[in-house]
Amino acid sequence: MSVFAEVPQAAPVAVFKLTADFRDDKDPKKVNLGVGAYRTDEGQPWVLPVVRKVERLLVEDTSLNHEYLPILGLPEFRSNSSKIALGDDSPAIQEKRVGGVQCLGGTGALKIGAEFLRRWYNGVDNTKTPVYVSAPTWENHNAVFGQAGFEDVRPYRYWDAQNRGLDLSGFLGDMEAAPEHSIFVLHACAHNPTGTDPTQEQWKQIAEVMKRRSLFVFFDSAYQGFASGSLDKDAWAVRYFVSQGFEMFCAQSFSKNFGLYNERVGNLTVVAKDAEKLAHVLSQMEKIVRWTWSNPPFQGARIVATTLTTPELFQEWKDNVKTMADRVLLMRAQLREKLVALGTPGTWDHITQQIGMFSFTGLNPKQVDYLIKEKHIYLMASGRINMCGLTTSNIDYVAQSIHEAVTKVQ
């Protein structure tokens, strides 16, 4: 009798199961629209040219070694990551009330933030504070806060399925009804999975309610630069909230905008009321990091730090990011154009109105199942597709297949 006899088989993670199914499919026309990573027009992963360049510089730098980093991470990585989120001229940075924690990707940044909030926010060790995540949201948001010990993770209205856009009145209404000091997880840009972001005026309305209702802001910024091609435009919401005096967290990921998916490069930016409060917060986060992963990895953080602190490399990186963003925008425009030309029932304006890597197509589960089984086009059951999976060689096939799914399957 095994000591593990009572351990059940866990369900596979949906997006990785989808990729495995795609890999096993022998059909030559198969298309993967599920994977959460950038692909070139040839359907291949892309190592950013600036990353290749920096990797060579690091290999040749004999002053580098493999000693432990500080527990909170590489200092120049942390400070410059926070700087691109908040802006070079951020008064909060100048007032020395902004700090960073190097984390294992955006998920790690969410994890450290959640663990801290459960221990030290709204009282000590308060597991009852409501945590609100958008409906729908990235699946890990629910899991990270739940596993941190929060007992009340709730959805707030976000997606208007009928109009295929933002449900602003529902969003604002849920914030008005939320208990004071509730935590709201907000997507800084390129909302995952809908690709639908508030406008700047709508962000102002959201901030006004959150300030008046004393709600805590926790931004998840996984796509800065990747959404619009502009670092500043994609950081507008985060910077506006800081300008309104919020104390807040911002989880940053460099997986998408640097293509460093397997290096796990993330940063948790902390904005506090003053330098003293910041020091207290970081001291507690240091304890949490110590027993979570003890010490962060070097390679990815050094690549990012070197790029952000070297003007010519920084400009090259921004150009690389714009290359990715522009390809996504092109695929959006072409897919919408082809669906309209085919006379596909419904409206498809949302494809170009949405932004970032993902599009919430509005396809229902039966139509998704048809695309997977009959057309070998792999996408999430929610109807979310990765626009990077579209290429000039497969977009006609995908558009025709979506047209068939919509007209044949209700």
Q: Which of 46, 53, 83, 138 is catalytic?
A: 138
The single-letter DSSP state of residue 301 is: H
- Alpha-carbon dihedral 251, 253, 256, 259, rounded to 10 degrees: 180
Say whether 234 is catalytic.
no
Say whether 138 is catalytic.
yes
Alpha helices in 189-310 (DSSP H): 200-212, 231-234, 236-243, 255-258, 275-292, 299-309
Distance CA(65)–CA(229), nearest Å, equals 35
Question: Would you list the DSSP string of 59-95?
Answer: HH-TT---PPPPTT--HHHHHHHHHHHH-TT-HHHHT
Say whether 160 is catalytic.
no
CA 237 to chain centre: 14
Cβ neighbors of 192 (< 8 A, separation 6 or more) are 137, 138, 222, 223, 356, 357, 358
How many beta carbons lie within 10 A of that of residue 97, not counting itself?
21
Distance CA(115)–CA(125), nearest Å, equals 10
Assigned token pair, 72: 């909170």
Closest residue by Cα to residue 136 from 355, 365, 360, 363: 360
Distance CA(84)–CA(67), nearest Å, equals 27
- Is 14:21 a contact under the CB 8 Å cutoff? no
The residue type found at 194 is: T
- Is 136:159 a contact under the CB 8 Å cutoff? yes
What is the tally of helices (H) and strands (E) in the chain? 17, 13
The residue type found at 170 is: G
- Is 250:272 a contact under the CB 8 Å cutoff? no
How would you classify the pairing of strands 377-378 and 358-360? unpaired
Q: Which of 174, 197, 220, 234 is catalytic?
A: 220
Assigned token pair, 115: 């663990």
CA geometry: angle 318, 321, 322, nearest 5 deg: 85
Q: Which of 53, 83, 111, 256 is catalytic?
A: 256
- Is 359:382 a contact under the CB 8 Å cutoff? no
The residues assigned a catalytic role are 138, 220, 256
